[in-house]
Amino acid sequence: MIRLCLFSLTFALGLQVSLGEHTKKRLLLNDLAILNSRLAKLESTIQSMDKVIASMNNTFNTKLKSLEFSYQSNLTTMETSFQSTIASINKSFNTKLSLLESSYQTTMVSMNRSLQTKVNDHERNIQSLTSSLSTLQIGIANQQKTMAQMTQSFQERGSTYVRWGKSGCSGTGTKLVYSGYSSGQKYYNGDDYYRGGPSNMLCLPDHPELSNTTAGGNSFIYGSEYDDSQFGSGAQNQDVPCALCLSNASSATVMIPGRKSCFSGWRIEYYGVLASGAYHHAASSYICIDIQPEFIPGGRSDNNDNTFFTTGYKCGSLPCPPYTDDLQVYCVVCSK
Ligand SMILES: [Ca+2]
Ligand SMILES: [Ca+2]
């Protein structure tokens, strides 16, 4: 290429000489020699440089190959080392994993055995408790049956009392056994020397069963009448009814004088005023006449057979207070 350029330049200069001045024709020919010389030198130099460049290329290629080889070698070494390390890690990991699995399996087996043992124990306990529960249920059923029998027996038993002045019963759970007539001995037989005989009053039923034999003539029973207006309006001379009452679910009844309510734990059956025969008549008893007394129909005539009078306190041996002279005495019948 360079040579082609130099040749073209020389041809141009020569053409210029052929067309130009004669003075310059020799000089230009001489210059061509110089140019050729220089061109030869330049070519030599270029060739030297080509050789140097080729040498450098060889050196460069050699070093490049060396570097490539070294790089490949190092890379191979690193890969080998890396793979070895990875293999070692994998091996270690697998070993530990195997140990963990083995330990886990052992632990799980142990836990399963323990759990199974506990489950078996619990099942045995449940069976035992179920059996005990069945036994208890049978026992409870028997006790309930016994309790029901006892309750029925207790309710059937109850306790009884006479309600004076009424033909019925009113206590809670209390039933009428029968109603009838209050009665006792005659208040006065007209002779102060004959004040004996019974002192108690009785409740004769209104549906008697009569004997067919006459009595001996020394003891009689008479109907009662209120002989005191203090029993209530219109009570004077009225005959007195009575009732025999059964207080269910109770084992005791009692008449308490001096009160119109029961003590704690007792149920009231009825309350009223205390009554008896007169102190200057034949002996009698204290009874509790209902606070709202009834009268036997058709009994208003003044028979003065067995007679009731309201009772009052008398101070003296009886302390006042708490009592007060001449006040009417309350009474109450209580059950429990
Ligand atoms: Ca009468
Ligand atoms: Ca009378």
* Distance of alpha carbon 29 from alpha carbon 10, whole angstroms: 9
Alpha helix locations (H) across the chain?
A: 2-19, 23-157
* Distance of alpha carbon 313 from alpha carbon 37, whole angstroms: 181
- Choose among 141, 308, 329: nearest CA to 241: 308
Ligand nearest to the CA of 304: 2
Cα–chain-centroid distance for residue 97?
A: 50
Q: Where are the domains of the chain?
A: 1-120, 159-206+220-335
N- to C-terminal Cα distance for the chain? 150
- Ligand 2 center from residue 214 Cα (angstroms): 28
Q: What are phi and psi of 254, to 5 degrees?
A: -150, 145
- Ligand 2 center from residue 271 Cα (angstroms): 24
Q: Note the pLDDT of residue 7.
A: 41
The tokens of 317 are what? 């041996």
pTM exceeds 0.85? no
Kind plus residue range of the DSSP H or E element containing 176: strand 174-184
Q: Note the pLDDT of residue 247.
A: 93
- Ligand 1 center from residue 162 Cα (angstroms): 20
Q: Note the pLDDT of residue 249.
A: 81
Ligand nearest to the CA of 277: 2
Q: Note the pLDDT of residue 192.
A: 61
CB 227 within 8 A of CB 277: no
- Ligand 2 center from residue 313 Cα (angstroms): 23
CB 164 within 8 A of CB 291: no
- Ligand 1 center from residue 238 Cα (angstroms): 4
* Distance of alpha carbon 60 from alpha carbon 271, whole angstroms: 141
CB 155 within 8 A of CB 174: no
Ligand nearest to the CA of 300: 1
Q: Note the pLDDT of residue 155.
A: 62
Ligand nearest to the CA of 227: 2
- Ligand 2 center from residue 307 Cα (angstroms): 7
Q: Note the pLDDT of residue 22.
A: 45
Rg of the chain in Å (alpha carbons): 73
- Ligand 2 center from residue 308 Cα (angstroms): 9
Q: Note the pLDDT of residue 98.
A: 92
Given a cut of 70, the residues of the chain with pLDDT beneath it are 1-30, 154-156, 189-194
CA max distance for the chain = 220
Q: Note the pLDDT of residue 252.
A: 95
- Ligand 2 center from residue 108 Cα (angstroms): 105
Q: Note the pLDDT of residue 156.
A: 67
